[in-house]
Amino acid sequence: MTFLDTPIFGFTATFIAFQAGLYINKKFKKAIFNPLIIAITLLIVTLSVFNIDYDTYNKGGSIITFFLGPATVVLAVPLYRQIENLKKNSLPILVGIFVGTITSIVSVIILSRIFGLSQIAILSLIPKSATTAISQEVSNQTGGIPALTIAATAVTGLSGNIMGPSICKAFKITDDTAVGISLGTISHVVGTAKAIEMGETQGAMGSLAVGAAGLATVFLAPWLLKIFI
């Protein structure tokens, strides 16, 4: 058995690629040099150049995927610290998440119709703003293509991580709670990672939004599909 055939290869390659992404991001301090984008690019180039198939890499890469669940649960810690803020603003927070989820789904349907996408593509893109585990399952249930859904979910998260703060600033959204809710609702865990960097309140609200928006997507997606498709 060679090094490539062991789980250590995929795990090590992912770790090194992400560390390289962090280094480049800190050096240039530009949003475009997002550590996740850099890590993904480095991994794709490495696998392509050395002709390493995805299954070989994923023996170790899946180990990191396994820890996404526990890492998501840990997001409840900053939320607990902000419990008083949550109690005080519970109604606007829940309404914001609910409206944001509906807007995300409906905008996908309308824009997909405008650009002439097929129905199966629309079904695959609808749950893109929910975290990966939820979006994949919703795609399965509605008849979408899970692989396409996962790709769209990743792009959505990265877009929110990179552009979310600038968009909030452009529209003069300065309230910490509102910023966190918007990032978590629209760009799930990856957006919440940026919210955590911005502050504890933003991170806590983003953590809440990830779970609440995911549940809302599960219930709202099939209902909205009956109305618009």
Each residue of 96-106: pLDDT tens digit? 999 999 999 99
Q: How many C-beta atoms lie closer than 10 Å to residue 181's C-beta?
A: 28
Q: How many C-beta atoms lie closer than 10 Å to residue 51's C-beta?
A: 6
Give dist(CA 84, CA 16) in Å, integer: 40
Give dist(CA 196, CA 7) in Å, integer: 30
Each residue of 136-185: pLDDT tens digit? 889 999 999 998 998 899 999 999 999 999 999 999 999 999 999 999 99
Q: Is 11's pLDDT higher than 80?
A: yes
User: What is the sign, positive or negative, of the torsion defined by CA atoms of 197, 200, 201, 204?
Assistant: positive
Each residue of 15-32: pLDDT tens digit? 999 999 999 999 988 878
Give dist(CA 81, CA 207) in Å, integer: 12
Give dist(CA 162, CA 170) in Å, integer: 14
Give dist(CA 129, CA 221) in Å, integer: 11
Among residues 77, 61, 95, the alpha carbon closest in space to that of 182 is found at 95
Q: Which residues are CB-contacts of 176 (< 8 A; sequence separation ≥ 6)? A: 198, 199, 201, 202, 205
Q: Which residues are CB-contacts of 213 (< 8 A; sequence separation ≥ 6)? A: 97, 100, 101, 129, 130, 184, 185, 188
Give dist(CA 100, CA 181) in Å, integer: 9
Each residue of 207-222: pLDDT tens digit? 899 989 999 999 999 8
- The pLDDT of residue 43 is 93
Each residue of 46-96: pLDDT tens digit? 999 999 998 888 888 888 877 777 776 777 777 788 888 888 899 999 999
* Amino acid of residue 128: K
Q: Is 127's pLDDT higher than 90?
A: yes
Cα angle value 66/192/70 (rounded, 5°): 25
pTM of the model: 0.82
Give dist(CA 183, CA 26) in Å, integer: 22
- The pLDDT of residue 104 is 95
Query: Which comes out higher in pLDDT, residue 46 or 36?
Result: 46
- The pLDDT of residue 47 is 93
Residue 226 banded pLDDT, cuts 50, 70, 90: confident
Q: Is 1's pLDDT higher than 70?
A: no
Radius of gyration of the CA atoms of the chain, in A? 18
String of DSSP letters for 38-92? HHHHHHHHHHHHTT--HHHHHHHHHHHHHTHHHHHHHTHHHHHHTHHHHHHTHHH
